[in-house]
Structures are given as structure tokens and as C-alpha cells.
């Protein structure tokens, strides 16, 4: 009895498994007779057959288990290869923001040995000035919801800073613990390219502005009336675009195109432009060419905005009755629709060489009456608000 107790205390896994198997066997319906000699030949054969079948079943089960384990090991190896060799960094954080594990790319990005990352706070590698960006997103990191993403500057162990995009998601493990999975992507090259692009665009804007100013000066010298008209209608177009909530980039383009929308009149004889009497039909036909001429002057000017098209389209109408191409509806740029309304209002309200000004009330009545037909409805509504609610007035000549 004593020996049995000691044996139980030192029982190996194999012995324990054998004991469990014997217990299960005793519970089976099939019993091996105590007197083996009493077994008939047929019963003995049947018993041997059952044992053989059971043995084969066990062997098959073992083979299936070995195959499944091999596939699992191979899958795990592939996963860790993908994880470690991924072209972006992966980290798992606990609720305190400490790094629990990281792949090789994360270690490489941060310039530290992989093992040294464990238990380090991720904030240790975030530039001090960008810490608030991280904390803003970390508050939501351990709450269910959409993945969080932000762009900030990380710092390598040697002090070198670089731009990174952090993408994080709450991913509870099997035990319900909510670690955060964080992806680190180096976006330094993209940020540098963005900065260079912005510098190029700014240089281009300055060059275009200078070119346009030269054109405006040429117009002022040759035709002071047209130059003044362009300035006033441009200011109104800018006010309309602002009232409509257009982005600043579009407003800047409208301001540029508006200030030279009649540049094509440089190709028209000055005596026609300043003629004090009503124009002849052939003279009016020449003036109608100015939109096309303006396009031809501007089409090869490099610009962040479609200046040539805006100038080309500023006499088009929503119902297709305008000129020179008879465009209608969505075929007309929104910027051109705005310039068109501002152009009509300023032209009607102001004096022209061949007639006195009709006044602002008549001009507003014209666009209101033809709202949605000749002129874009949203543009007209914004123009009316600018004058009637915001108190807009043209600058004195």
C-alpha cells in the first residue's frame, strides 16, 4: 500500500495516460473473459479483429494529429516570417502604453534592438512636440470602434527624427485583455515630397501672379475701362465664391482668372472698345471673339488653376445660349459660372462707353429673373445675399 502511494506521487505522464486508458477500457461493453480457455475460436478471432481495428484507428488518429500539428507549425512559421519581415513596423501595447512585442521592422525604424523594445513606453520614441497627437488617439485606442490613425514624428534611439503614420486598433486576446495593435509606417519621403510640391506650387503661383500683373498693366495702358471692370467684377466674384463656401484654392483661382477674364480684348481695335455709340453687328461679333482670344493667350501658361478655360467660358450660359462654344449646365466650370454672374452685374451697374450705368438694382433684377436659366441658381442666390444681406458695394472708380 505504501509502495502504491509513492508510485502515485511519482507517476509519469505516460503512466497516467495508461491508467486513464485502462479505466476507459473497463467501462466499455466488451469484456475479456477471465477464462481465456473457454473462448471459442470464433470469439477469439472476433476479439483479435476488434483489437486490430482499434489499433488502426489509433494509428490513423495519431497520423491526423501529427499532420495537423505539422500544418499548424508551418502556418505559425509563415505568420512569424510575414510578421517579422513585413515592410512596416508592428507593435502590441498594453493598456499602459508599454510595448509587449514588436517585429524586426519596428526595431529597425526605432533604431534599437528588438528585445530592448519590450516594456518600453511607445511615448519614449515620440517627439516631445507631437506627444499630444498620440495621447489624443490613445484615449480611444483601448475602446471598441474604428481603427485610429495619426501622423507624427518619431525619434530613433540616436535622436534622429522621422515622420511616421500610426494606425492602431483595439484587438482583445483570448483572455479578454485589450492590447492595442499598432502599425508604424515611415512616411518621411512622402512628407518631403509634399513639402517640395507645395514649394513648387507656391513658386508657380508667384510666377503666374507676376505674369497676370503684367497682363493687367497692359490692359490698363490700352483700355482703362476694361481694366477697371475686371478689378471690380473680380472682387465681386471672390465675394460670391466665399459666400458659397468654396475652398480657398478655388477662390484664389477665381481671383486670378477674374482679373484677366477680358484679356482677349487686347486683340480688338481700341476704337471699337471705346466707341461711344452703339456697336454695329460686325463690331459686336469681333468683341465676342475676346473669350476665345483670351483662351489662346493663356492656354500655354502653367498654372495650378484652369485659368484658360475659366476665361474661355465666362460668357457661356446654363441653357447653352452663351458663346463661344454654346456650353451648358455641368459643362461649364463652377468658377466660370461665378465670373459670368459677377461680370454681368458689374457691366450693367457701371457706365460703359456707349451708355450710362443701369444701376445695381437693374443688374440684380437681371440675374434674379434669369436664375437657373442663363445663370447658375446657387451662384445667383449667393450674389443676392452678398448685396442684400451682407451690404456689398462696388468700390468707387
Residue 152: name the closest of 160, 138, 142, 162 by CA. Answer: 162
The closest of 293, 330, 337, 329 to 313, measured between CA atoms, is: 337
Query: Could you tell me the CA-to-CA distances from 219 to 229, 285, 292, 382 in Å, in that order?
Result: 11, 20, 17, 29
Residue 99 C-alpha cell reads as 510595448
Show the CA angle centred on residue 106, arms to residues 103 and 110, nearest 5°: 145
Q: Do domains 87-186 and 192-388 have the same CATH topology?
A: no
Work out the number of other CB atoms within 10 angstroms of the CB of residue 12.
8
Report the candidate in 327, 341, 323 with the shortest Cα–Cα distance to residue 377. 341
Residue range 192-388 in CATH 1.10.3210.10: yes
Q: Return the HEC string of 138-180.
A: HHHHCCCCCCEEEEEEEECCCCCEEEEEEEEEECCCCCCCCCE
User: Residue 301 has which C-alpha cell?
Assistant: 501658361
Fold held by 87-186:
Beta-Lactamase (3.30.450)
> What are the beta bridge partners of residue 355?
352
The closest of 243, 204, 212, 206 to 230, measured between CA atoms, is 212
Q: Starting from the edge strand earliest in sequence, which strands make up the sheet with 89-93, in order? A: 99-102, 89-93, 180-186, 161-170, 148-155
Rounded Cα distance between 282 and 198, Å, is 47
Q: pLDDT tens for residues 240-257?
A: 999 999 999 999 999 999
Q: Where are the domains of the chain?
A: 87-186, 192-388
Q: Is the peptide bond before 324 cis (omega within 30 degrees of 0)?
A: yes
Torsion of Cα atoms, 116 then 119 then 120 then 123, to 10°: 150
Rounded to whole angstroms, the Cα distance separating 360 from 38 reads 125
**pLDDT one digit per residue (tens) for the chain, 397 residues:** 444 444 455 677 556 655 665 565 555 545 555 666 666 777 777 777 777 777 777 777 777 788 888 777 777 667 666 667 778 888 888 878 888 888 888 888 999 998 888 899 988 999 999 988 888 777 666 666 667 788 999 999 889 999 999 888 776 665 555 567 888 999 999 999 999 988 888 888 788 778 777 777 777 767 677 768 888 999 999 999 999 999 999 999 999 999 889 888 888 887 887 787 888 888 888 888 999 999 999 998 888 899 999 999 999 999 999 999 999 999 999 999 999 999 999 999 987 776 777 899 999 999 999 999 999 999 999 999 999 999 999 887 6
Q: What is the 3-state secondary structure (H, E, C) of 13-69?
A: HHHHHHHHHHHHHHCCCCCCCCCHHHCCHHHHHHHHHHHHHHHHHHHHHHHHHHHHH
Ranges of beta strands (E only) in the chain are 89-93, 99-102, 148-155, 161-170, 180-186
Amino acid at each position: 500500500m505504501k509502495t502504491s502511494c509513492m508510485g502515485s506521487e511519482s507517476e509519469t505522464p505516460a503512466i497516467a495516460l495508461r491508467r486513464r486508458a485502462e479505466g476507459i477500457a473497463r467501462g466499455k461493453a466488451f469484456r475479456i473473459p477471465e477464462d481465456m480457455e473457454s473462448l471459442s475460436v470464433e470469439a477469439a478471432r472476433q476479439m483479435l479483429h476488434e483489437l486490430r481495428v482499434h489499433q488502426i484507428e489509433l494509428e490513423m488518429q495519431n497520423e491526423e494529429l501529427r499532420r495537423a500539428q505539422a500544418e499548424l507549425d508551418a502556418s505559425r512559421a509563415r505568420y512569424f516570417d510575414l510578421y517579422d519581415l513585413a515592410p512596416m513596423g508592428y507593435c502590441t501595447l498594453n493598456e499602459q502604453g508599454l510595448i509587449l512585442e514588436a517585429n524586426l521592422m519596428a526595431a529597425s525604424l526605432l533604431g534599437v534592438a528588438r528585445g530592448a523594445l519590450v516594456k518600453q513606453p511607445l511615448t519614449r520614441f515620440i517627439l516631445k512636440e507631437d506627444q499630444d497627437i498620440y495621447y489624443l488617439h490613445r484615449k480611444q485606442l483601448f475602446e471598441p470602434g474604428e481603427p485610429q490613425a495619426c501622423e507624427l514624428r518619431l525619434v530613433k534611439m540616436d535622436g534622429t527624427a522621422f515622420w511616421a503614420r500610426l494606425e492602431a486598433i483595439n484587438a482583445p486576446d483570448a483572455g479578454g485583455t485589450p492590447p492595442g495593435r499598432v502599425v508604424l509606417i515611415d512616411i518621411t519621403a512622402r512628407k518631403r515630397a509634399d513639402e517640395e510640391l507645395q514649394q513648387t506650387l507656391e513658386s508657380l503661383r508667384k510666377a503666374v501672379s507676376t505674369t497676370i500683373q503684367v497682363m493687367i498693366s497692359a490692359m490698363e495702358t490700352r483700355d482703362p475701362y476694361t481694366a477697371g471692370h475686371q478689378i471690380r467684377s473680380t472682387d465681386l466674384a471672390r465675394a460670391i465664391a466665399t459666400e458659397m463656401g468654396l475652398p480657398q484654392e478655388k477662390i484664389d483661382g477665381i481671383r486670378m482668372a477674374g482679373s484677366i477674364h477680358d484679356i482677349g480684348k487686347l486683340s480688338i481695335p481700341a476704337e471699337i472698345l471705346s466707341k461711344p455709340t452703339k456697336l454695329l453687328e460686325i463690331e459686336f461679333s469681333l468683341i465676342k471673339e475676346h473669350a476665345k482670344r483670351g483662351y489662346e493667350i493663356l492656354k500655354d501658361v502653367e498654372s495650378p488653376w484652369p485659368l484658360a478655360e475659366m476665361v474661355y467660358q465666362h460668357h457661356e450660359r446654363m441653357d447653352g445660349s452663351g458663346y463661344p462654344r454654346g456650353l451648358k449646365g455641368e459643362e461649364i466650370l463652377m468658377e466660370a459660372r461665378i465670373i459670368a454672374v459677377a461680370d454681368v452685374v458689374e457691366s450693367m451697374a457701371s457706365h460703359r462707353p456707349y451708355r450710362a450705368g443701369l444701376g445695381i438694382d437693374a443688374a440684380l433684377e437681371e440675374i434674379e429673373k434669369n436664375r437657373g436659366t442663363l445663370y447658375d441658381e446657387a451662384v445667383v442666390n449667393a450674389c443676392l445675399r452678398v448685396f442684400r444681406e451682407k451690404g456689398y458695394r462696388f468700390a468707387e472708380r
